Amino acid sequence: MSKLYPVSAEFAAQANIKAADYASLYDESVTDPDEFWGRIGKRLEWSKPYTQVQDTSFDASDLHINWYADGELNVATNCLDRHLEKHGDKIAIIWEGDDPNESRRISYRELHAEVCKCANMLKNLGVQKGDRITIYLPMIPEAAVAMLACARIGAVHSIVFGGFSPDSLAGRIVDCTSKLIITADEGLRGGKKVPLKINVDEALQRPGTNTVETVIVVRRTGSPVAMQAPRDRWYHSLMAAQSTECPPEPMNAEDPLFILYTSGSTGKPKGVLHTTGGYLVYASYTHECVFDLQENDVYWCTADVGWVTGHSYMVYGPLANGATSLMFEGVPNYPDVSRFWQVVDKHQVTLFYTAPTAIRALMRDGEAPVKKTKRTSLRLLGTVGEPINPEAWEWYHRVVGDERCPIVDTWWQTETGGILITPLAGAIAQKPGSATKPFFGIKPAIVDVNGTQLEGAAEGNLVITDSWPGQMRTVYGDHQRFIDTYFKTYPGTYFTGDGARRDEDGYYWITGRVDDVINVSGHRLGTAEVESALVAHPKVAEAAVVGCPHDIKGQGIYAYVTLKTGIEPTEELRKELRDWVRKEIGPIATPDYLQWAPGLPKTRSGKIMRRILRKIAENQPDQLGDISTLADPGVVASLVDERMIR
């Protein structure tokens, strides 16, 4: 039996959503979604009100997803302009630098002026509605300014995480034929400099990137960088000349807002496309309900702006709600491992949202670094990105939250735009390790391998049977891949790629990916991406990559490598290959384990049996199952003997 943490009466008394509200609103949201989302949509300001709400079908032969389809609005207006009259002086963004002595407070009025200037700058450089803009920035306010400036003029942003390599950046530029890049001289994380401009220069030497006409460079560290005329321009000099007024472009609800690349089980990363109206309704409404947002909250989401969590729950959701959102440039352990909690005390953070991997890493250092801070401002904690193990949940609750703060374990995906399964702290009792119940309008189901929907307590694959406003609309440039990836496996439903269990109380427990995607410290990686990086090395004949258990990261990367004939497996080569992957994709893709494999277990038709490789990497050699169908069952014994985790 898992432990139950009941809703605290004190928290419930002031909560936006109470138990009875959850029951009745959920019921309405799934029985009459048009009425429900029609009403919720009015939380935004529409320049042309919608008359239609939901128009969707998950039937692969007639797939369409439209929400509020005849409405018009602008995301930047909703995140900025409409707050000015009453809340112009309220702080929109608190920026906390990597260096604890550096921070900034930016009011809604100031942010509005910066965004208008940036929008005018882009327009003056020839950017038009629909153009794709790549943003490759560190965690500095200019990242939010750039996003909102794109939204204001109808340009589609594609943010690339600053930890990605020049090659990964180039791939994302080529895929969306980006016209302009906004970057910085360098990033700063944990006292170390990240050479962003150098990476951009390298990326732009790759074939197919010549659609990029302009590179705008924000001066962050001030280190000298090469500026190539006329392509490269300084952000500060361009901005100085711009007007603080810029009329927002009226956008149709279904016009694209952004593309964000994410890893799938096959091939290169997919450009997940989100649109304007439904996305913002969903991001803002979930943000208000899930974090129980109230007027004076100081809300901090630690995610990088390069991931979807940074999009929906650091920028768009909070700013649409007129909240104060904290943006942190640094890392949890710099200058020391108390940093998160020092920042909480310094800025009196009330709502705190982070990843289980960060909690597990901090647990290693014990309670003292946490307990020497006050944290009395905190009233709610959240997690996202991967399953949280009950031990980490309990520690977060007891040590960080002093047993006072409820925890929302929020399950969602880049594709879903916002949170789908989560407790609402004033309404739903929590069980450590369970994302608990579906949010309003979300109809999850658990299916077996044949696609039969299971009732009651059950375990299987997680699907969603009806649309919600924040859902992705397509894979940029490849609509067929969208249909094939998400709507064909279990016809008539959206397939999440996750496994889940539903218990006797109707609570959902996410068990992890069931496809070839691994989740390393909450970052999604396709095993195929790491494999193709490895086989691109001249000494590698073949490679297979699987996930393995990892105490801190949740999952680690375990690579099996077969070398070309005549190449000696040495420790130097092992290091060379790990560095190679790091350089090809980025530090997050560096294999934790690299095992030499004289051969890989394959079926007679040549397909690698990953099931077996996964079990070996999980140190469960007695659970390999049937290996008789292998072309050469003999290879298994030596792989087991040489396994690296025991």
Q: Which residues bind ligand WTA (CB under 6 A)?
A: 262, 307-309, 384-387, 409-414, 435, 496-498, 510, 512-513, 519, 524
The verdict on whether residue 527 carries a ligand-binding annotation is: no
The whole-angstrom separation of Cα 316 and Cα 305 is 11
Residue with Cβ nearer ligand WTA (22 or 411):
411
Q: What is the DSSP letter of 8?
A: P
Q: Is the peptide bond before 230 cis (omega within 30 degrees of 0)?
A: yes
| SS3 label, residue 340 | helix
Closest CA to 581 of 532, 631, 637: 532
Contact assessment for residue 593 and residue 578, using Cβ atoms and an 8 Å cutoff: no
Question: Which residues are 461's β-sheet partners?
Answer: 447, 499
Residue with Cβ nearer ligand WTA (422 or 590):
422
Q: How far is the CB of 111 from ligand WTA (least distance, A)?
A: 25
Q: What is the DSSP letter of 424?
A: -
To the nearest 10°, report the CA torsion of 624, 626, 630, 632: 70
Residue with Cβ nearer ligand WTA (303 or 320):
303
The whole-angstrom separation of Cα 483 and Cα 478 is 9
The verdict on whether residue 582 carries a ligand-binding annotation is: yes
The whole-angstrom separation of Cα 561 and Cα 540 is 7
Residue with Cβ nearer ligand WTA (78 or 286):
286
Structure tokens at 255: 């016009």
Q: How far is the CB of 183 from ligand WTA (least distance, A)?
A: 22
Contact assessment for residue 410 and residue 290, using Cβ atoms and an 8 Å cutoff: yes
Contact assessment for residue 65 and residue 483, using Cβ atoms and an 8 Å cutoff: no
Exposed/middle/buried for 17, CB within 10 Å: 0-12, 13-18, 19+?
Answer: buried
Q: How far is the CB of 511 from ligand WTA (least distance, A)?
A: 8
The whole-angstrom separation of Cα 470 and Cα 420 is 10
Q: How far is the CB of 524 from ligand WTA (least distance, A)?
A: 4
The verdict on whether residue 498 carries a ligand-binding annotation is: yes
Residue with Cβ nearer ligand WTA (286 or 309):
309
The whole-angstrom separation of Cα 405 and Cα 351 is 9
Q: What are phi and psi of 131, to 5 degrees?
A: -65, 150
Residue with Cβ nearer ligand WTA (53 or 301):
301
The verdict on whether residue 583 carries a ligand-binding annotation is: no
Q: How far is the CB of 252 from ligand WTA (least distance, A)?
A: 26
DSSP, residue by residue, 579-628: HHHHHHT-GGG--SEEEE-SS--BBTTS-B-HHHHHHHHTT-GGG----T
Q: How far is the CB of 99 from ligand WTA (least distance, A)?
A: 28
Q: Of all residues in this chain, which one has the CB nearest to ligand WTA in the complex? A: 414
The verdict on whether residue 524 carries a ligand-binding annotation is: yes
Bridge-based pairing state of the strands 444-447 and 453-454: antiparallel
Contact assessment for residue 233 and residue 214, using Cβ atoms and an 8 Å cutoff: yes
* Half-sphere exposure of residue 250: CA atoms within 13 angstroms, side-chain side: 8
Residue with Cβ nearer ligand WTA (123 or 513):
513
Q: How far is the CB of 356 from ligand WTA (least distance, A)?
A: 8
The length of the chain, given as a count of residues: 646
Residue with Cβ nearer ligand WTA (262 or 275):
262
59-63 long-range contacts (CB < 8 A, ≥24 apart) are: 59/487, 59/491, 59/492, 60/483, 60/487, 60/488, 60/491, 63/482, 63/483, 63/487
| SS3 label, residue 535 | helix
Closest CA to 275 of 93, 107, 55, 426: 55
The verdict on whether residue 385 carries a ligand-binding annotation is: yes
Q: What are phi and psi of 461, to 5 degrees?
A: -100, 145
The whole-angstrom separation of Cα 154 and Cα 255 is 8
Question: How many other β-carbons are positioned within 10 Å of the β-carbon of residue 101?
Answer: 5
Residue with Cβ nearer ligand WTA (142 or 409):
409
The whole-angstrom separation of Cα 136 and Cα 183 is 5
The verdict on whether residue 333 carries a ligand-binding annotation is: yes
Q: How far is the CB of 390 from ligand WTA (least distance, A)?
A: 12
Contact assessment for residue 214 and residue 249, using Cβ atoms and an 8 Å cutoff: no
Q: How far is the CB of 307 from ligand WTA (least distance, A)?
A: 6
Residue with Cβ nearer ligand WTA (92 or 290):
290
Residue with Cβ nearer ligand WTA (411 or 580):
411
Residue with Cβ nearer ligand WTA (118 or 384):
384
The verdict on whether residue 590 carries a ligand-binding annotation is: no
Q: How far is the CB of 383 from ligand WTA (least distance, A)?
A: 6
The verdict on whether residue 489 carries a ligand-binding annotation is: no
Q: How far is the CB of 328 from ligand WTA (least distance, A)?
A: 18
Q: How far is the CB of 34 from ligand WTA (least distance, A)?
A: 27
Structure tokens at 15: 């909560």
Residue with Cβ nearer ligand WTA (275 or 309):
309
Q: How far is the CB of 222 from ligand WTA (least distance, A)?
A: 33
Binding site listing for CoA: 189-192, 309, 333, 521, 582
Binding site listing for Mg(2+): 535, 537, 540
Binding site listing for ATP: 385-387, 409-414, 498, 513, 524
Binding site listing: 189-192, 309, 333, 385-387, 409-414, 498, 513, 521, 524, 535, 537, 540, 582
